[in-house]
Chain A
Amino acid sequence: MDETLRFGHFEIRPSSRDLRVHGHEVTLGSRAFDLLVALVERRERLVTKDELLDLVWPGLVVEENNLQVQVSALRKLLGARVITTVPGRGYRFTANEEHARAAGAARPTGPVGAEALRGLGHRVLVADDNKVNRLLLARSLELMGHRVASVDNGRRALDLLRSEPFDLLLLDLEMPELDGLGLLEAMSGDPALVEVPVIVTSSVEGVGPVARCIELGADDFLHKPVDATLLKARVAASLEKRRLREQQRELIGRLTALLAAPAESGAGVPQAPRRCSAALLAARLVGLGAMPEADDAAAAIELAEACRTLLADAAAERGGVRVADAGDELVTAFGLGAAMDDDAGAAAAAMQTALEMAALIEGLNAERTAAGRPPVGLAIGIALGEVVAGRGGRPGEPRAVCLGAALGEARALSQRAEHHGRAIVVDPELASAVQDMVRTEVLEPDRVHGVFFG
Chain B
Amino acid sequence: MNEPFIDPAVFAELQAQAGADFVEDLAATFADEGAELLAALRAAAASGQAAPFRRAAHSIKSNANTFGARALAEQARSLELGGLPGDSAAIDSLAALFDATIAELRRHAAG
Contact = CB atoms under 8 A, between A and B. Distances in A.
Interface of A: 107, 129-133, 135-136, 139-140, 143, 174, 203-205, 224-225, 228
Interface of B: 17-19, 22, 25-26, 29-30, 33, 55, 58-59, 61-63, 65-66, 81
Contacts, number: 47
A132 B65 contact: no
Given A139-B18, A140-B17, A203-B58, A224 B29 contact: no
B58 A224 contact: no
Given A132-B29, A132-B30, A140-B17, A107 B62 contact: no
Contact of A225 (B19, B22, B29, B62): B62
Chain B interface secondary structure, helix, strand, loop or mixed?
Answer: helix
Nearest to B10: A225
A204 B33 CA distance: 20
Given A136-B18, A203-B58, A228-B17, A131 B33 contact: yes
B38 to A, nearest CB: 14
A224 B26 contact: no
Contacts of A143: 18
Nearest to B60: A130
B62 A203 contact: yes
A107 B30 CA distance: 16
A224 B81 CA distance: 17
Nearest to B58: A174
Given A136-B26, A225-B65, 16 more contacts: A131-B33, A132-B26, A132-B30, A132-B63, A132-B66, A135-B26, A136-B66, A139-B18, A143-B18, A203-B61, A203-B62, A203-B65, A224-B65, A225-B66, A228-B17, A228-B18
Nearest to A128: B62
6 contacts: A130-B62, A131-B33, A132-B29, A143-B18, A174-B58, A224-B66
Contacts of B58: 174, 203-204
A130 B62 CA distance: 9
Q: Which of A132, A135, A174, A205 gathers the greatest number of chain B CB atoms within 10 Å?
A: A132
Contact of A139 (B22, B61, B81): B22
Nearest to A107: B22
Contacts of B63: 130, 132-133
A225 B11 CA distance: 12
A259 B62 CA distance: 54
Contacts of A225: 62, 65-66
A135 B22 CA distance: 9
B66 A135 contact: no
A129 B66 CA distance: 15
Nearest to A133: B62
The 3 A-B residue pairs with the shortest CB-CB distance, nearest first, are A228-B17, A225-B66, A203-B62
Nearest to B66: A225
B51 to A, nearest CB: 10
A68 to B, nearest CB: 51
Contacts of B66: 132-133, 136, 224-225
B56 to A, nearest CB: 10
Given A135-B29, A224-B66, A130 B59 contact: yes
Contacts of A132: 26, 29-30, 33, 62-63, 66
A166 B38 CA distance: 35
A205 B59 CA distance: 13
Q: Which of A130, A135, A139 gathers the greatest number of chain B CB atoms within 10 Å?
A: A130
A131 B29 contact: yes
A132 B66 CA distance: 9
Contacts of B19: 139
A415 to B, nearest CB: 63
A205 B78 CA distance: 13
Nearest to A228: B17
Nearest to A201: B62
A228 B59 CA distance: 20
A130 B58 CA distance: 10
Contacts of A133: 62-63, 66
A131 B27 CA distance: 11
A55 to B, nearest CB: 43
Contacts of B25: 107
A224 B62 CA distance: 7
B24 to A, nearest CB: 12
Contacts of B65: 203, 224-225
